[in-house]
Amino acid sequence: MTVSRQPLDMRRSKVFGEVAETYDASRAGYPSALVSTVLDYADLGDRPAVESGAGTGKATVPFAAALGDSPLLCVEPDARMAAVLRRNTADRPNVRIHVGPFEEWHPGDTRFGLLFAATSWHWLDPDRRWDLVHDALAPGGAVALFWNPQGVLDPHLHAALAEVDRRHGLTITPHAELSSSYGDTPGHWPGMLGHWPDAECRQDGRFTDLRSLRIREQAHYDTDRYLGHLASVSLYRALPADRRDRALADTAAVLDAHGGGIDVEHHHDLFLSRRR
């Protein structure tokens, strides 16, 4: 697999709120092993944590539970996503929510022991994000950036879905890769487009103890849930409605012809570093 660095269309970061409920119902979460790995690395003590781009809380909920009474501030730019996030964390008094872009949020006098971003780091301004992280963290504070791309387990289903994608001119869809093509290197997948944060962080020089690791987890989506997942992906949201509907209908036909769903392996890729 050859991965090249390409610019992201930042306008696509604004589309998730259109389908906030679908996003919440269909998107995959993050395993407890990832949460415990991050918190063991951060060794928070009495310092608070902050999440950038919390969305509807796919990572917020397990982190808030694992943090117990320790405070967690969630920064989410879209009010529609934040409304679902607020509902999902209603039983967690340790969670506070700030609605607005992370680039416009200010930590004030608070310095955090952990900043994490779940499948959202790539939407932050690349010219400012490391400055923002550095300013938010206490000395020794941890950064945890993670994604959960997936690979298709069945080669025959993968080939049939690839034909649908070709017909509709779609590239780098969530089912574009076989799980076996991912190899063993975190961040080595087309959706990352060469944006794995290790090199950028090393070049910055204000962070140390850099680590990258991968946690694998298999999952099954029935046809309806998988279509909801696709409908919440920025690539599909950016399509004209009629073209999106045709692509989803053709995908559904393939899934129904292959047993009514799709088996995938999520590759939970995690990057860790800490402020010097």
Domains of the chain, earliest start first? 10-150+185-220+268-275 (3.40.50.150)
Cβ neighbours, 10 Å, residue 258: 16
Encode the chain (276 residues) as per-residue pLDDT tens digits: 333 444 444 444 567 778 999 999 999 999 999 999 999 999 999 999 999 999 999 999 999 999 999 999 999 999 999 999 999 999 999 999 999 999 999 999 999 999 999 999 999 999 999 999 999 999 999 999 999 999 999 999 999 999 999 999 999 999 999 999 998 899 988 767 568 999 999 999 999 999 999 999 999 999 999 999 999 998 999 999 999 999 999 999 999 999 999 999 999 999 999 999
The per-residue pLDDT for 192 is: 72
Per-residue pLDDT tens over the stretch 64-108? 999 999 999 999 999 999 999 999 999 999 999 999 999 999 999
The per-residue pLDDT for 191 is: 67
Specify the long-range contacts of residues 88-95, CB closer than 8 Å, at least 24 apart: 88/24, 88/56, 88/57, 88/60, 88/61, 89/57, 89/60, 89/61, 89/64, 92/61, 92/64, 92/65, 94/64, 94/67, 94/68, 94/69, 94/70, 95/60, 95/64, 95/71
Per-residue pLDDT tens over the stretch 147-175? 999 999 999 999 999 999 999 999 999 99
Q: What is the DSSP letter of 178?
A: B
The per-residue pLDDT for 4 is: 40
Pairing of strands 49-52, 72-76: parallel
Rounded to two decimals, the pTM is 0.92
Determine contact, residues 8/123, Cβ cutoff 8 Å.
yes
